[in-house]
Structure 1
Amino acid sequence: MEMVDPDSLYTGILIIGTDGTIDQLNQAAADFLGRSPASLYRTPLEYADPALARWSQRLAHGHRSFQAPEASLSTTGQSADAVFTRIDGGVLIELHPVAERLRQRQLANRADQQQAIHMLSRRLAHELRNPLAGVRAAAQLIGGQTSEPALKRHAEMIQREVDRITGLIERFAGDQNTELAAINLHRILEETGELVVTERHGRLDLVRDFDPSIPPLMADGDRLHQMVLNLVRNAVQAEAGTIRLVTRIEHDSPMVDRPARHAVRIEVLDDGQGVPETLRDRLFLPMVSGRDQGSGFGLAIVQQIARAHGGLVEYLPRSPGSAFIIRLPLIPAEESDHV
C-alpha cells in the first residue's frame, strides 16, 4: 500500500508525548495553529494552543477518545472538528476542517433571511399601495382645482414623490425587475453624497477615494442611488462627522452564490457611533434598528438592492464608526451584450 505524505493532508495531525510536548505534526496542523512546523516541534501543547490543551485533559478522566465539534482554536480563532485519542506513548489530535461547512451554513442563513425579507416586503407593498394611491389622487385633485402656481407645484411634487415611493416598494417586493442600463458609478456616488451634504447644510465632511479605472457599468442607477443614500444617511444618523466613499476593483471577490471573477467594491466608511454588537447578526433583517425612530427597513433595502444585482453587502465594525462593504459583479457596459 502506498504511504500517504502527512503534509499532503487537509486534516491536521498532532502527536503529543507523555511530557505534554508536540512530538510530531504535519503542515495542516501548523496552519491551523498559525505557526511553522519547526517552531511548534517540542513545544508544550498548552503554549501552542491552550484550548487544545484544555480539551486534551479530558483523556485523563478515563476517556479513550472523544470529539470536540467546531472547537475554536485559541491561537488563530479558526474552528475545527477536533478528535482526541489516547495512543501508546501519548495523545493523537486530529483537526478536521469545517470552513466549507460553516460557509454553507452562512449561505443558508442568508438565504433564509432574504426569503423573510421578500415575504415581508410583499405584504408591506400590498398594505401601502392603496393609501399611496389615495394620496396621489388627492394631490392630483388639488392641483387641478387651483390656479395658484405654488400649490400646483407642491401638488406635482407630491405626485412625483408618491410615484417614486411606489416604484421603490414594488421593486423591493420583487414586483419589478431590475432595469439595467449603462451608468457612471462615480457620478451616482457624487450625487448621492452631495444630496446628504446639502441635507446637513454642509455640516458633513465627505471624502472621495475613487478608482478611475472603473468603467461604465450595467446596473440600475436609481436603485444604486437608493442603496448608497440609505447607507450614507444611516451614517449621518449615527452622528458621523466624516464619511469616506471608496471604490476599487476586486478579483475573485466573495459573493453569496459564488465568487465573482471581477467585482466592484464600494466602501462607505464613517466615524459615527457604530452598530451595537447585539444587532450585528440581524442587521440586514427588516424591522431591526438601533434607533428609537428608525423604521428598520433601510439596511434591509440596501441588501435587497445588492442581491438584485447579484452582489452582497457586509458590515464591519471600526473604531470609531462603521464600514459597509458593497460588492457587485463587474459588468462593463461595453461588454453587456456578451454577458
Structure 2
Amino acid sequence: MRHFDPDELATGLVRVAADGRIEWFNRSANALLAPPGASLGRCPIHQISPALGEWVRQVNGQGRSLYAPEALLEEAGSVVDAYLHPSGESVLIELHPVAERVRQREMADRADRQQALSLMTRRLAHELRNPLAGVRGAAQLIAARGSDETSSRHAAMIQREVDRITALIERFAGNGERRTAPVNLHRVLAQTAELVAAEQHGGLRVERDFDPSIPELAADEGQVHQLFLNLLRNAAQAGAGVVRLTTRIEHGSPLMDRPGGHAARIDVDDDGHGVPEALREKLFLPLVSGRDQGSGFGLAIVQQIARAHGGLVEYVPLEAGSRFRVRLPLDPAVSGDDGQATGESADG
C-alpha cells in the first residue's frame, strides 16, 4: 500500500499548538502563507496571518470547528476556504486555494453585465426596426419620383445604408428562444471547422485534439454551432493560418452556475495577430471590434450564447496568437450530487 504523503496535497495543512505556535505544516501551506523561498518554521500563527490567529483563538475558546469561506489572507496575498478544527490540545487548519474560483466568478459577473448590456442593445434594435423601415420607405418614394439624378442617387444610398444597419440588427437580435436537446459537441466542432476552412479556400488549417469521453451536452445545437462558427471566423479574420481545437472534461469546474460540477472545456487556439491589450477587457461587448470593417457583434453573441447555456467564454492571450476558452456545463447526469460544507461560518 502506497504511503500517504501530506506534501503531495494541494490543500494546505497547518497544526497550531495551544500557545499559538505552528507545530507542523505541509508544503502547500508553506507556499500559501510564507514569502517565496521562506519557511513558516515555528512562528506564532498570528504573525503569519492575524485572521488565522484570531480564528485559532475562537476555536480554542469555543471548542468547535470554524469555517471561513473565501478568506483573504492579506499578508500572504492568498484567497482560501479555511477550515479550523480542534484536535486535542492543537488546532488543525485546512487551507483550500480558491483563487481560480473567485477569478471565474468575477469573469462571470462581468459577462453577466455585458449580457445585460447586450439585452438592452437587442431591445433598442427592436425599437429601431420600425423607424428604419419608415426611412427606407421614404427613400423608395423619393427614388420612384425620379425628379433628378442626384436625388435618386441619394435615395438609393439611403436604402443601402438602411439595409446594412437592418442586417446588423437582425444579426445581433437573431438569438431567440433556446431549444435544448442532446448535442454531440465534436460533431458540431467538426462541422463548423469544415465550413470555415472551406470559406478560407485552403488558407486555414484546423487541427483537432478531442477527448472522446465527453458525453452529449444538453444545449441548443444551432446556437452552439453559431458560437463556434463566430470564434473560428474571428480567428480567420485575425489572420490565423492554423486553428487548434482542444476539448477536455474539467472536473470540479470553477463555473459559478454549477459550483463543483463538471464542464466541457473547449480551447480555440489560433496563430493570428491577437487582440490589442486595450480591447481585452471590453472584448465581449457589442460594437467592440479590432477590425475597421468589423461589426463588433460576433464575440458579444458568443458570450451571450455561452451565458444562456450556463457557461462562460474567456480570452487568453498567447505568445503568438489567441486562445478563446469556452466552458459549457455537462449534462446533469454526468455530475454527482453537490456536497455542502458543515461547520460554523466566520463573520466577515
Distance 1:109 1:185, change over 3 A: closer
Contact 1:129 1:166 in 2 (8 A): no
Bigger RCO of structures 1 and 2 (CA < 8 A, at least 6 apart): 2
State how 1:18-167 maps to structure 2 within 5 Å. 30-33=31-34, 35=36, 39=39, 106-128=107-129, 166=170
Question: What is the aligned-residue identity percentage?
Answer: 49
C-alpha separation between the residues in 1 aligned to 2:247 and 2:207?
A: 12
Task: Give the alignment's TM-score, normalised by structure 1.
Answer: 0.59
| Unpaired stretches in structure 1, ≥5 consecutive residues | 1-5, 16-22, 43-68, 81-96, 136-161
Deviates more, 1:192-201 or 1:114-123: 114-123
For residues 312 and 253 of structure 2, the distance between their equivalents in structure 1, rounded to whole angstroms, comes to 10
Unaligned ranges ≥5, structure 2: 1-12, 43-71, 81-96, 137-165, 335-348
Partner in structure 2 of residue 311 of structure 1: 311
**1-structure distance, mates of 2:75, 2:297:** 34
SS at match of 2:280: helix
SS in 1 for 2:266: strand
Q: CA deviation at 1:274?
A: 0.8
How far apart, in 2, do the equivalents of 1:121 and 1:72 lie?
A: 45
* 1:198 shift after superposition: 0.8
Deviation at 1:215, TM superposition (A): 2.3
- 1-side partners of 2:262 and 2:131: how far apart? 42
User: Does the C-alpha gap of structure 1 residues 115 and 236 become closer, same or farther in structure 2, counting only changes over 3 Å?
Assistant: same
Which residue matches 1:169?
173
Residue 105 and residue 308 in structure 1: after superposition, are their counterparts in 2 closer, same or farther (change >3 A)?
closer
**TM-score, structure 2 normalization:** 0.58
Structure 1 residue 314: deviation in Å?
0.9
Q: Does 1:288 align with 2:288?
A: yes
Residue 178 of structure 2 aligns with an amino acid whose one-letter code is: T
- 1:63 maps to what in 2? none
Aligned to 2:338: none
Quote the Cα distance in structure 1 between the aligned partners of 2:208 and 2:214: 14
CA distance in 1, matches of 2:135, 2:266: 38
CA contact (8 A) 2:172 2:301 kept: no
CA separation of 1:279 and 1:78: change in aligned 2, threshold 3 A: farther
Code of the residue aligned with 1:249 in structure 2: it is I
CA-CA distance at 1:236 after TM superposition: 0.8
Amino acid at match of 2:291: R
Q: Deviations over 1:288-318 (max 9, x none)?
A: 1111111111111000000111111111111
> Is the contact between residue 260 and residue 329 of structure 1 (CA under 8 Å) also seen in structure 2?
no
| Cα distance change of structure 1 residues 117 and 241 upon mapping to structure 2, 3 Å threshold | same
In 2 relative to 1, CA 105–237 (structure 1 residues): closer, same or farther, beyond 3 Å?
closer
Q: Relative to 1, partners in 2 of residues 1:268 and 1:288: Cα closer, same or farther, differing over 3 Å? A: same
Cα distance in 2, alignment partners of residues 325 and 126 from structure 1: 34
Asked whether the 8 Å contact 2:217–2:329 carries over to 1, the reply is: no
Q: Does 1:272 align with 2:262?
A: no
CA, structure 1 residues 269+130, in 2 after alignment: closer, same or farther (shift >3 Å)? farther
- Name the counterpart of 1:194: 194
SS at match of 2:215: coil
